[in-house]
Chains A and B, each alone.
Chain A
Amino acid sequence: MRTVLTADDVRRALTRIAHEIVERNQGIEGLAVVGLQRGGVWMAKELAGLLSAIDPEHDVPLGSLDVSFHRDDVGLRPIVPASVTDIAGSLDGRTIVLVDDVLFTGRTVRAALEALNEYGRPSAVQLAVLVDRGHRELPIRPDFVGKNLPTSRDELVVATADGVTIQ
């Protein structure tokens, strides 16, 4: 197992991403942050906090999304849904910042995009990930990336607030 990002690296990356989000969207009004379960939930919470710190005038709604029921491999492998999805209010007209820790094949994000449709029609969806490890199987690309990390398929990447490791 090797560490590719330390806790400090993670913190710095998230701070940079937060500023990029504010810059790209010219402020945080009309944004909502949604973390993908499981890995994106802690990161979404951090980002929401950082965004509020940058612009204390506005509130950024925070939610979490379980995509178990939208996966394209239903019935092919055991699926155990995580915590219940928590999205308050309609997403109509909002810009959603979808947050996940590791971007890999892109299938989870595809499922998330489909799931978001059930909550309304966002005006835009942007993707923020801590780590992009390559090996995309679908045409999905992140808007905000903490670190690009080339990996081989069978390696396991673990990302938390305490750091990112590969084993």
Chain B
Amino acid sequence: MKHLLAIDDLSADDIHRLLELTDHMVEINSRPIPKVPALRGKNVVSLFFEDSTRTRTSFDTAAKRLSADTMNFTVSSSSVSKGESLRDTIETIAAMGVDAFVVRHRSSGAPAMITRWTNASIINAGDGWHQHPTQALLDCYTIRTGLNRRDGFDGLHIAIVGDIRHSRVARSDVQAFAALGARVTLVAPPTLLPPSLQGWPVEVSHDLDSLLPDLDVLYLLRVQRERMDEALLPSLHEYSQLYGLTDARAARLAPHALVMHPGPMNRGVEMVADPGELPGSVILNQVTNGVAVRMAVLFWLLGSGSDLAEAS
């Protein structure tokens, strides 16, 4: 494997292997000196065309823990509009010697385009509405450890609630959870679902309350204020009435059920209850697991020789 652009580039086996590798990375992170030399001499460059301090530093930390060298570019839209095309930007930076680009871009498909202009490995850190594969992997890892399901997610019922239509996290999670055998239900008003769910391994519900007791995982997505301006929702208030996680709803969850959110949270919209008070919340674990998962991905692409294994 040379790139990680989308979850559906990975087989279920690949996902399992990455999650097992993550266990190693968690252990490395617990050492007094949490650093191994595996990617020494490798250059990992973050190219964030959309800023996200949290994801960017997560990747940066991951690369450094594997002893890679890192460079971080946050490319504001103004410098690109100065006339330098995406291609020129990539080729200029790649000329400095890059082993992997970690790319976040507001346009779906931008990381895929970039693979044509450089020999470096490309890791998609979020492209438009399309995919956010490392988020899905860390979500899987969080569920795996939170529910002690090392063998897969057969029999688990996971609900993803919120703005599915515009969510790269949702697209990646649906594919990852289904690949591991979970039953996935999407919960959203019709205007926040994609135009077509043909081929999606999901069920759809508009009644969150009836689902709650049956869920093993409740995954909340952020709902943005812009959706109101686009006439997709009458108001965020109405959204939170129908789909927000209130204390009453939280009480109806099974005792073992996990509550998850990719962050950042819109308090009072999709998350009405206080997540700190929710016993099933693993939201902070998601963040912690992010570094280990990204270490696993970086090692797999740049150090594990997996591309050699495929060639032979």
Contacts and interface: CB of A to CB of B under 8 A. Distances in A.
A and B touch in the complex (CB under 8 A): yes
Given A90-B32, A120-B32, A69 B24 contact: yes
Interface in A55-87: 66, 68-71, 74-81, 84-86
Nearest to B42: A75
Interface residues of B, number: 25
Interface in B1-41: 20-21, 23-24, 26-28, 31-39
Contacts of A71: 38
Contacts, number: 61
A69 B306 contact: no
What class of interface size applies to chain A in its complex with B? 20 to 34
Interface stretch (B109-117, B270-278, B297-305): B297-305
A42 B103 CA distance: 44
Nearest to B20: A81
B24 A85 contact: yes
Interface in B140-173: none
A86 B23 CA distance: 11
B138 interface: no
21 contacts: A66-B24, A68-B24, A69-B24, A69-B37, A69-B66, A70-B36, A71-B38, A74-B39, A74-B305, A75-B302, A78-B309, A79-B304, A81-B21, A84-B26, A85-B28, A86-B27, A90-B32, A115-B36, A118-B28, A118-B31, A118-B36
Given A70-B36, A86-B27, A119-B32, 14 more contacts: A69-B38, A70-B38, A78-B306, A78-B308, A78-B309, A79-B305, A81-B20, A84-B26, A85-B27, A118-B28, A118-B32, A118-B36, A119-B31, A119-B33
Interface of B: 20-21, 23-24, 26-28, 31-39, 66, 299, 302-306, 308-309
